[in-house]
Amino acid sequence: MKKTPRKAGAAKRPVARRTASSSFTLSQVAETVGGRVLGDASLRLTGVQGLAEAGPSDLSWVADERLLRQASESRAGALMVPSEELAGGKPAVLCQHPGLALAAWLTVWRPPARPAPGVSKGARVDRAAKLGKGVAIAAGATVEAGAVVGDRTVLCSGSYVGKDAVVGEDCFLHPNAAVLERCRVGARGILHAGAVVGSDGFGYLWDGERHRKVPQMGIVRVEEDVEIGANAAIDRATLGETIIGRGTKIDNLVQVGHNVVVGEHSLLCGQAGVAGSARIGKRVTLAGQVGVSDHVVLGDGVIATGQCGIVRGANVEAGTVISGMPAQRHRDFLRSAAWYARLPELAKRVERLEAREPGKGEGGTAWKSESPKS
C-alpha cells in the first residue's frame, strides 16, 4: 500500500506515553528500581497506593518493621520491601530503600507533564531577553530586558523573570512564580506557584520620627537543584547576596530574610522563618514553624524540631538536635517538659508544705531570718 507523504510542517504522530492508568508487571518495577522479584514476576498491576488504601491490583511499599502489622493486613497485590520477612508471603520487589525505589518508579510510570517548547503569543518577552533552546513560555508569562532563560526551561502562566535576572536550564516556574531583578536561579530549579526570589529585605531604621527604609541593593543567588515551595519568599540582600545552597528544598510559606546563607542540601519545612544575616549550614533541617533570629549560626547537620525558637546570636554546633523556646538541646528540653507537666502536682505539694510552716498567715509564708555564722 502506497504511503501518503506527510505535508511539510505537519505535526508528527504523538508517541504513546505510560499514563497513571497503564498496567505494569512486577518485573518492570524490579528492572526500573534495580530490585529483585519475590514471587510471580509476571503479576500485572494497575496502580500504586498506600498500605491502607491498596487493593489487589495495586503496588504498595513497606519502609521498615514498624509497618509490619499494616503490611500483613494490607490487601495490596504486591509490595516493595527491604527484606523477605516484611513481604509476608506476598509477591514483592526486594530493594534496599523502598521509599527511594517508589520515587524512582513513580517518576518513570507517571512522568510529570511538560508543555511543548515554544513561546505563546500571549507571553510578554522583551526583545533584549535571551532565551535558550527548547524553552516553553506560556501566555501571561513575562521576561524582562536583559534576562536570560536557560535551555528547556518552562515558564507557566503569570510567572515573571525580571530585568537582568538569570534562570538556568531545565528549570520550572509554576504559575505566578517570580525571579526579580538581577537575581539568579541555578539549573533544574523548581519554583512553585507564588514563590518569590528577590523580594526586598525587611530593612528599616528608626530616625526619631518614623521607620526609614534602607535600600535593598543586593540579589538572591539560588544554586542548582533547589526547590522552593508555594508562596515562599527569599529576600534579596541589603548588599551582596542572599544564598540558597545547592540541593536545598524549601517548603510552602517559608520566609528567608536578607543576607541569609543556607548551605547545601538543607530542608526548610512549612512556615519556618529565618531572619536576616543568619548562617545555616549544610544538611540542616528546620521543621515546621521554626523561627531563626538574626545573626544566628547553625552548624552542619543541625536539626531544629517543630516550633523551635532560636534566639539572636546563638551559635549551635554541628550535629545538634534542638527544641523549645528558647532553643536548647533536645534531651534537656524533654527533661524540662517532663517537669513542666508535673507543675500542678508540685504546686499542690508546696502548698501543703507551706501550710505546715509555723507563722504562716494570710500574707503567705513567714520566712525565718538567719543570723550570720560567726
Q: The pTM is what?
A: 0.84
Give the C-alpha distances (Å, rounded to integers) separating 362 from 280, 340, 344, 355. 54, 28, 21, 11
Distance CA 330, CA 292 (A): 16
Beta bridge partners of 273: 255, 291
Grid cell locating 108: 518513570
pLDDT in tens, the chain (374 residues): 344 343 333 333 333 344 445 899 999 999 999 999 999 999 999 999 999 999 999 999 998 888 888 888 999 999 999 999 999 899 999 999 999 999 999 999 999 888 999 999 999 999 999 999 999 999 999 999 999 999 999 999 999 999 999 999 999 999 999 999 999 999 999 999 999 999 999 999 999 999 999 999 999 999 999 999 999 999 999 999 999 999 999 999 999 999 999 999 999 999 999 999 999 999 999 999 999 999 999 999 999 999 999 999 999 999 999 999 999 998 888 888 888 788 888 888 888 888 887 655 444 444 344 444 43
Distance CA 173, CA 196 (A): 10
Question: Before 326, cis peptide (omega within 30)?
Answer: yes
Kindly state the DSSP code that residue 357 receives in the 8-state scheme.
S
Exactly one of 258, 265, 295, 330 is catalytic; name it. Answer: 258
Distance CA 310, CA 188 (A): 32
Q: Please say whether the beta carbons of 173 and 191 come within 8 A.
A: yes
pLDDT of residue 348: 87
Distance CA 94, CA 79 (A): 8
pLDDT of residue 132: 97
Q: Please say whether the beta carbons of 130 and 91 come within 8 A.
A: no
258 carries an active-site annotation: yes
pLDDT of residue 183: 98
Q: Which amino acid appears at position 319 of this protein?
A: G
pLDDT of residue 64: 85
> Residues 6 or more apart from 31 whose CB is under 8 A from it?
none
